[in-house]
Amino acid sequence: MSDNKSEKLFIRKIWDFVKEPVIVVAVFMTIHSFAYAQYEIWPSESMVPTLEIGDRIIVNKYAYGYSRYSFPFGMGGFDGRIMGALPKRGDVVVFADPEGTGRALIKRVMGLPGDEIQVIRGRLVINGKMLPRHQDKSYRYRAPRGRMVSVREFKEKNPEGRAYQIVERTDSGRLDNTPVYKVPEGHFFAMGDNRDNSADSRILSKVGYVPVENLIGRAEVIVMSLYDCDDGKEITCTFGLPLSRFFKKIM
Protein backbone atom coordinates (compact mmCIF):
# COMPACT_ATOMS: atom_id res chain seq x y z
CA MET A 1 0.00 0.00 0.00
CA SER A 2 2.82 2.37 0.90
CA ASP A 3 4.47 1.70 -2.48
CA ASN A 4 1.21 2.62 -4.20
CA LYS A 5 0.99 5.89 -2.25
CA SER A 6 4.60 6.71 -3.06
CA GLU A 7 3.94 6.11 -6.75
CA LYS A 8 0.88 8.38 -6.71
CA LEU A 9 2.82 11.06 -4.84
CA PHE A 10 5.64 10.85 -7.39
CA ILE A 11 3.21 11.14 -10.29
CA ARG A 12 1.53 14.13 -8.64
CA LYS A 13 4.88 15.87 -8.18
CA ILE A 14 5.73 15.27 -11.84
CA TRP A 15 2.36 16.69 -12.91
CA ASP A 16 2.75 19.75 -10.67
CA PHE A 17 6.11 20.35 -12.34
CA VAL A 18 4.96 20.01 -15.96
CA LYS A 19 1.32 21.15 -15.89
CA GLU A 20 1.99 24.86 -16.41
CA PRO A 21 4.20 24.35 -19.50
CA VAL A 22 1.69 21.82 -20.84
CA ILE A 23 -1.19 24.29 -20.38
CA VAL A 24 0.81 27.10 -22.02
CA VAL A 25 1.66 24.88 -25.00
CA ALA A 26 -1.97 23.70 -25.28
CA VAL A 27 -3.29 27.28 -25.25
CA PHE A 28 -0.68 28.34 -27.81
CA MET A 29 -1.55 25.45 -30.12
CA THR A 30 -5.26 26.21 -29.79
CA ILE A 31 -4.74 29.87 -30.66
CA HIS A 32 -2.40 28.95 -33.50
CA SER A 33 -4.78 26.37 -34.95
CA PHE A 34 -8.08 28.17 -34.58
CA ALA A 35 -7.28 31.90 -34.47
CA TYR A 36 -4.09 32.41 -36.46
CA ALA A 37 -1.91 30.41 -38.82
CA GLN A 38 1.43 30.92 -40.51
CA TYR A 39 1.99 30.38 -44.23
CA GLU A 40 4.99 30.65 -46.51
CA ILE A 41 4.68 32.13 -50.00
CA TRP A 42 6.12 29.37 -52.16
CA PRO A 43 6.59 28.93 -55.08
CA SER A 44 4.02 31.37 -56.58
CA GLU A 45 4.85 34.97 -57.51
CA SER A 46 1.22 35.83 -58.25
CA MET A 47 1.04 38.43 -55.46
CA VAL A 48 4.20 40.39 -56.34
CA PRO A 49 4.84 43.16 -55.26
CA THR A 50 2.64 42.79 -52.17
CA LEU A 51 4.04 39.36 -51.35
CA GLU A 52 7.32 37.85 -52.50
CA ILE A 53 8.44 34.25 -52.68
CA GLY A 54 9.93 33.42 -49.29
CA ASP A 55 7.63 35.71 -47.28
CA ARG A 56 6.31 34.16 -44.06
CA ILE A 57 2.87 35.58 -43.27
CA ILE A 58 0.35 35.49 -40.43
CA VAL A 59 -3.28 34.77 -41.37
CA ASN A 60 -6.24 35.78 -39.21
CA LYS A 61 -8.54 32.73 -39.30
CA TYR A 62 -11.47 34.20 -37.38
CA ALA A 63 -11.89 37.30 -39.58
CA TYR A 64 -14.58 35.65 -41.75
CA GLY A 65 -15.77 32.90 -39.41
CA TYR A 66 -14.98 29.22 -39.74
CA SER A 67 -15.66 26.51 -42.31
CA ARG A 68 -14.35 22.98 -42.67
CA TYR A 69 -11.30 24.46 -44.41
CA SER A 70 -10.39 26.52 -41.35
CA PHE A 71 -9.61 23.60 -39.08
CA PRO A 72 -6.29 21.73 -38.94
CA PHE A 73 -5.93 18.04 -39.78
CA GLY A 74 -9.32 17.87 -41.51
CA MET A 75 -11.18 18.31 -38.20
CA GLY A 76 -13.97 20.50 -39.62
CA GLY A 77 -16.50 17.90 -40.68
CA PHE A 78 -19.36 20.24 -41.60
CA ASP A 79 -20.67 22.36 -44.47
CA GLY A 80 -21.18 26.13 -44.53
CA ARG A 81 -19.62 28.68 -42.18
CA ILE A 82 -19.88 29.43 -38.46
CA MET A 83 -19.97 33.16 -37.55
CA GLY A 84 -19.52 33.82 -41.26
CA ALA A 85 -18.74 37.23 -42.70
CA LEU A 86 -17.94 38.38 -46.22
CA PRO A 87 -14.47 39.75 -46.93
CA LYS A 88 -14.10 43.35 -48.08
CA ARG A 89 -12.93 44.35 -51.54
CA GLY A 90 -9.19 44.71 -51.35
CA ASP A 91 -8.62 42.12 -48.62
CA VAL A 92 -5.76 39.71 -49.22
CA VAL A 93 -7.15 36.28 -48.36
CA VAL A 94 -6.05 32.67 -48.11
CA PHE A 95 -8.52 30.09 -49.38
CA ALA A 96 -8.74 26.44 -50.32
CA ASP A 97 -8.19 25.85 -54.03
CA PRO A 98 -11.66 25.45 -55.66
CA GLU A 99 -10.14 22.79 -57.93
CA GLY A 100 -9.84 20.51 -54.90
CA THR A 101 -6.08 20.14 -55.07
CA GLY A 102 -5.71 20.51 -51.31
CA ARG A 103 -3.52 23.60 -51.79
CA ALA A 104 -4.08 26.93 -50.05
CA LEU A 105 -4.06 29.89 -52.46
CA ILE A 106 -3.59 33.57 -51.67
CA LYS A 107 -5.11 36.39 -53.76
CA ARG A 108 -6.78 39.77 -53.37
CA VAL A 109 -10.59 39.98 -53.25
CA MET A 110 -11.75 42.18 -56.13
CA GLY A 111 -15.41 41.25 -56.47
CA LEU A 112 -18.25 40.28 -54.11
CA PRO A 113 -21.59 38.56 -54.81
CA GLY A 114 -23.51 40.45 -57.49
CA ASP A 115 -20.52 42.46 -58.73
CA GLU A 116 -19.64 42.70 -62.42
CA ILE A 117 -15.91 42.46 -63.10
CA GLN A 118 -14.06 43.02 -66.37
CA VAL A 119 -10.51 43.77 -67.52
CA ILE A 120 -10.11 46.13 -70.51
CA ARG A 121 -6.61 46.71 -71.89
CA GLY A 122 -5.14 45.80 -68.53
CA ARG A 123 -7.44 48.11 -66.56
CA LEU A 124 -9.79 46.65 -63.98
CA VAL A 125 -13.47 47.61 -64.23
CA ILE A 126 -15.83 46.99 -61.30
CA ASN A 127 -19.56 47.52 -61.84
CA GLY A 128 -18.89 49.64 -64.91
CA LYS A 129 -16.30 51.88 -63.25
CA MET A 130 -12.65 51.68 -64.35
CA LEU A 131 -10.35 51.80 -61.35
CA PRO A 132 -7.82 54.63 -61.29
CA ARG A 133 -4.16 53.65 -61.26
CA HIS A 134 -0.94 55.64 -61.11
CA GLN A 135 2.45 54.33 -62.23
CA ASP A 136 5.03 54.55 -59.46
CA LYS A 137 8.09 52.95 -61.08
CA SER A 138 9.49 50.42 -63.54
CA TYR A 139 11.99 47.74 -62.59
CA ARG A 140 13.19 44.20 -63.17
CA TYR A 141 13.07 41.23 -60.83
CA ARG A 142 14.27 37.66 -60.99
CA ALA A 143 11.49 35.11 -61.54
CA PRO A 144 11.66 31.72 -59.77
CA ARG A 145 13.17 30.02 -62.82
CA GLY A 146 15.98 32.54 -62.92
CA ARG A 147 15.05 34.83 -65.81
CA MET A 148 14.73 38.58 -65.39
CA VAL A 149 11.26 40.10 -65.83
CA SER A 150 10.54 43.77 -66.61
CA VAL A 151 7.42 45.24 -65.00
CA ARG A 152 5.68 48.52 -64.29
CA GLU A 153 4.38 49.01 -60.76
CA PHE A 154 1.12 50.92 -60.23
CA LYS A 155 -0.90 52.10 -57.28
CA GLU A 156 -4.49 51.04 -57.92
CA LYS A 157 -7.49 52.28 -55.94
CA ASN A 158 -10.74 50.33 -55.57
CA PRO A 159 -14.27 51.84 -55.30
CA GLU A 160 -13.96 52.03 -51.50
CA GLY A 161 -10.84 54.17 -51.86
CA ARG A 162 -8.52 51.41 -50.74
CA ALA A 163 -5.10 51.63 -52.43
CA TYR A 164 -2.59 48.82 -53.06
CA GLN A 165 0.27 48.07 -55.42
CA ILE A 166 0.06 45.93 -58.58
CA VAL A 167 2.53 45.09 -61.33
CA GLU A 168 1.98 44.71 -65.07
CA ARG A 169 4.30 43.30 -67.72
CA THR A 170 2.00 44.51 -70.47
CA ASP A 171 -1.56 45.74 -70.97
CA SER A 172 -2.17 43.37 -73.85
CA GLY A 173 -1.59 39.96 -72.27
CA ARG A 174 -3.94 36.98 -72.43
CA LEU A 175 -5.87 38.09 -69.32
CA ASP A 176 -5.81 41.84 -70.05
CA ASN A 177 -9.04 41.81 -72.09
CA THR A 178 -11.83 39.69 -70.66
CA PRO A 179 -15.59 39.26 -70.86
CA VAL A 180 -17.78 40.60 -68.05
CA TYR A 181 -17.84 38.28 -65.04
CA LYS A 182 -20.98 38.28 -62.87
CA VAL A 183 -20.05 37.06 -59.38
CA PRO A 184 -22.68 34.56 -58.19
CA GLU A 185 -24.15 34.48 -54.69
CA GLY A 186 -21.99 32.76 -52.11
CA HIS A 187 -18.80 33.45 -54.08
CA PHE A 188 -16.11 36.10 -54.51
CA PHE A 189 -13.77 37.11 -57.32
CA ALA A 190 -10.04 36.93 -56.56
CA MET A 191 -7.06 38.27 -58.51
CA GLY A 192 -3.31 38.32 -58.03
CA ASP A 193 -1.49 41.64 -57.76
CA ASN A 194 0.97 40.35 -60.37
CA ARG A 195 -1.71 40.78 -62.99
CA ASP A 196 0.06 39.13 -65.93
CA ASN A 197 1.34 36.16 -63.92
CA SER A 198 -1.59 34.98 -61.84
CA ALA A 199 -3.97 32.07 -62.36
CA ASP A 200 -7.05 33.50 -60.66
CA SER A 201 -10.80 34.04 -61.02
CA ARG A 202 -10.34 35.34 -64.56
CA ILE A 203 -9.75 31.71 -65.58
CA LEU A 204 -13.14 30.10 -65.01
CA SER A 205 -11.83 26.64 -65.92
CA LYS A 206 -9.33 26.80 -63.04
CA VAL A 207 -9.80 29.01 -59.98
CA GLY A 208 -12.94 30.74 -61.24
CA TYR A 209 -15.48 32.12 -58.77
CA VAL A 210 -14.34 31.14 -55.27
CA PRO A 211 -16.97 29.80 -52.83
CA VAL A 212 -17.04 31.87 -49.64
CA GLU A 213 -16.98 28.54 -47.80
CA ASN A 214 -13.40 28.03 -49.04
CA LEU A 215 -12.08 31.03 -47.10
CA ILE A 216 -9.40 30.20 -44.55
CA GLY A 217 -8.55 33.71 -43.37
CA ARG A 218 -7.23 37.21 -44.00
CA ALA A 219 -3.50 37.80 -44.50
CA GLU A 220 -2.39 40.34 -41.89
CA VAL A 221 1.37 40.77 -41.74
CA ILE A 222 4.67 39.57 -43.21
CA VAL A 223 6.62 38.23 -40.23
CA MET A 224 9.86 37.70 -42.12
CA SER A 225 11.18 37.06 -45.61
CA LEU A 226 13.87 34.63 -46.71
CA TYR A 227 14.47 35.42 -50.37
CA ASP A 228 17.81 36.84 -51.50
CA CYS A 229 18.15 40.47 -52.60
CA ASP A 230 17.86 39.96 -56.34
CA ASP A 231 17.88 42.76 -58.89
CA GLY A 232 14.88 45.05 -58.55
CA LYS A 233 13.24 43.37 -55.57
CA GLU A 234 14.31 45.55 -52.67
CA ILE A 235 16.31 48.68 -52.08
CA THR A 236 16.89 48.08 -48.38
CA CYS A 237 18.79 44.82 -47.91
CA THR A 238 21.27 43.67 -45.29
CA PHE A 239 23.31 40.47 -45.44
CA GLY A 240 21.29 39.28 -48.41
CA LEU A 241 17.91 39.64 -46.67
CA PRO A 242 15.18 42.24 -47.35
CA LEU A 243 14.86 43.53 -43.77
CA SER A 244 12.36 46.20 -44.81
CA ARG A 245 9.80 43.40 -45.31
CA PHE A 246 10.10 42.04 -41.75
CA PHE A 247 6.92 42.71 -39.69
CA LYS A 248 5.36 44.56 -42.60
CA LYS A 249 1.57 44.98 -42.61
CA ILE A 250 -0.12 43.57 -45.69
CA MET A 251 -2.08 46.32 -47.43
Active-site residue numbers? 46, 107
According to DSSP, the residues that pair with 175 across neighbouring strands are none
Report d(CA 211, CA 215) in Å as an integer: 8
List the 123-126 sheet strands across, edge first: 129-130, 123-126, 116-120, 181-182
Helix or strand (DSSP H, E) at 11: helix 2-34
Residue 179 CA to residue 120 CA, distance in Å, equals: 9
* Overall size of the chain counted in residues: 251
| Enclosing H/E stretch for 168 | strand 163-168
How is residue 6 annotated by DSSP? H
Q: Could you give the CA distance from residue 124 to residue 110 in angstroms, rounded to a whole number?
A: 9
